[in-house]
Amino acid sequence: MADPMHDAPRASITGRALHVFAFPSLLIAACLTGFLPAAPAFAKKPPPPVLTAAAAAVPDSYSAAAAKEIFAEGGNAVDAAVAIAFTLAVTYPDAGNIGGGGFMTLYVDNKPYFLDYREVAPQGATKEMYLDDKGNVEPDASLVGYRAVGVPGTVDGMWEAQKRFGKLKWKQVLAPAIKYASDGFVVQPWLQKRHDYAARSFAGKTNFDVYFSGLKAGATFRQPELAETLKRIASDGGREFYEGRTADLISTAMYGHGLVSKQDLQRYHAVWRDPLTADWNGYQIVTAPPPSSGGVGLIQLLKMKADLKPAFDGVQLNSVPYIHLVSQMEDRVFADRQQYLGDPDSYKIPVAKLLDDSYLASRAAEVKADAAPGATGVKPGLGDTMPERAQTTHFSVVDQWGNAVSNTYTLNGPFGAGVVVDGAGFLLNDEMDDFVTKPGTTNQFGVTGDEVNTIAPGRRPLSSMAPTILLKDGNVALVIGTPGGSRIFTTIFQVMTDLFDFGMAPQDALAAMRFHHQLIPPTTIFYEPYAPITGDLADALKAKGYKLEGQPFNGDVQMVRVNGTTPEADSDPRGAGVGAVFPLSPSK
Ligand code: GLY
What is the torsion angle, in degrees rounded to the nearest 10, for the CA atoms of residue 483, residue 488, residue 493 and residue 496? 10
User: In this structure, are 402 and 496 located in the same domain?
Assistant: no
Among protein residues, the one with the nearest Cα to ligand 1's atom 4 is 463
Q: Which helix (H) or strand (E) holds 550?
A: strand 547-550
Q: Considering the chain, what percentage of its residues have pLDDT values greater than 90?
A: 84
In a domain, 303, yes or no: yes
Q: How far apart are CA 91 and CA 64, in angstroms?
A: 11
- CA 404 from chain center: how many Å? 15
Q: Between β-strands 524-527 and 547-550, what pairing exists: parallel, antiparallel or unpaired?
A: parallel
User: In this structure, are 549 and 445 located in the same domain?
Assistant: no
Q: How far apart are CA 401 and CA 49, in angstroms?
A: 5
In a domain, 317, yes or no: yes
User: What separation in angstroms does the CA of 60 have from each of 284, 344, 420?
Assistant: 29, 33, 22
DSSP 486: G
User: In this structure, are 445 and 517 located in the same domain?
Assistant: no
Q: Is any ligand 1 atom within 6 A of the Cβ of residue 338?
A: no
pLDDT band at 38, cuts 50/70/90?
very low
- CA angle, 556 as apex, 286 and 334 as ends, to 5°? 60
User: In this structure, are 76 and 150 located in the same domain?
Assistant: yes
Looking from the CA of residue 118, the nearest atom of ligand 1 is 4
DSSP 307: H
Last residue of a domain, one of 414, 431, 453: 453
Closest CA relative to residue 492, chosen from 205, 280, 315, 282 = 280
Q: Ligand 1 centre from 218 Cα, in Å?
A: 31
Tell me the β-bridge partners of 410.
101
User: In this structure, are 104 and 122 located in the same domain?
Assistant: yes
Q: Is any ligand 1 atom within 6 A of the Cβ of residue 465?
A: yes
3-state class (DSSP) for residue 527: strand
The answer to whether residues 185 and 1 touch, using CB atoms and an 8 Å cutoff, is yes
Q: How far apart are CA 103 and CA 63, in angstroms?
A: 18
Q: Is any ligand 1 atom within 6 A of the Cβ of residue 447?
A: no
Tell me how long the chain is.
588
Q: Ligand 1 centre from 117 Cα, in Å?
A: 12
Q: pLDDT tens digits for 351-406?
A: 999 999 999 999 999 999 999 998 667 888 887 543 345 589 999 999 999 999 99
Closest CA relative to residue 479, chosen from 413, 568, 404, 416 = 404
In single-letter form, the type of residue at position 228 comes to E
What is the torsion angle, in degrees rounded to the nearest 10, for the CA atoms of residue 68, residue 70, residue 76 and residue 81? -80
Among protein residues, the one with the nearest Cα to ligand 1's atom 2 is 485
Which of 3-7, 379-383, 475-479 has the highest average model confidence (pLDDT)?
475-479
In a domain, 20, yes or no: no
User: In this structure, are 225 and 158 located in the same domain?
Assistant: yes
User: In this structure, are 142 and 283 located in the same domain?
Assistant: no
Q: Is any ligand 1 atom within 6 A of the Cβ of residue 430?
A: no
Q: How far apart are CA 481 and CA 494, in angstroms?
A: 12
Task: Write down the pTM of the prediction.
Answer: 0.91
Tell me the β-bridge partners of 103.
116, 408
Residue 309 predicted with pLDDT over 90: yes
Q: Ligand 1 centre from 7 Cα, in Å?
A: 35
What integer pLDDT is reported at residue 501 of this predicted model?
Answer: 97
Residue 580: CA count within 13 A, CB half-sphere: 32
User: In this structure, are 350 and 429 located in the same domain?
Assistant: no
pLDDT band at 479, cuts 50/70/90?
very high
User: In this structure, are 448 and 544 located in the same domain?
Assistant: no
Which residue range forms the structural domain that includes residue 432?
Answer: 57-185+206-211+220-274+394-453
DSSP 451: G
- CA 287 from chain center: how many Å? 12
Q: What total of structural domains would you count in the chain?
A: 2
Query: Mean pLDDT of all residues in the chain?
Result: 90
Q: Which of 411, 463, 490, 556 to mutate to test the pocket of ligand 1 (most atoms within 8 A of CB)?
A: 463
In a domain, 198, yes or no: no
Annotated catalytic residues are 392
Q: Considering the chain, what percentage of its residues have pLDDT values greater than 70?
A: 90
User: In this structure, are 383 and 400 located in the same domain?
Assistant: no
User: In this structure, are 361 and 478 located in the same domain?
Assistant: yes
User: In this structure, are 408 and 517 located in the same domain?
Assistant: no
Residue 586 predicted with pLDDT over 60: no
What integer pLDDT is reported at residue 390 of this predicted model?
Answer: 56
The answer to whether residues 132 and 138 touch, using CB atoms and an 8 Å cutoff, is yes
Q: pLDDT tens digits for 404-458?
A: 999 999 999 999 999 999 999 999 999 999 999 888 787 777 777 788 999 999 9
In a domain, 14, yes or no: no
In a domain, 367, yes or no: yes
In a domain, 5, yes or no: no
Q: Is any ligand 1 atom within 6 A of the Cβ of residue 485?
A: yes
Q: pLDDT tens digits for 52-95?
A: 999 999 999 999 999 999 999 999 999 999 999 999 999 999 99
Residue 6 predicted with pLDDT over 70: no
Q: Is any ligand 1 atom within 6 A of the Cβ of residue 392?
A: yes
Q: Is any ligand 1 atom within 6 A of the Cβ of residue 463?
A: yes
Cβ burial, residue 281 (10 Å; 0-12/13-18/19+): middle
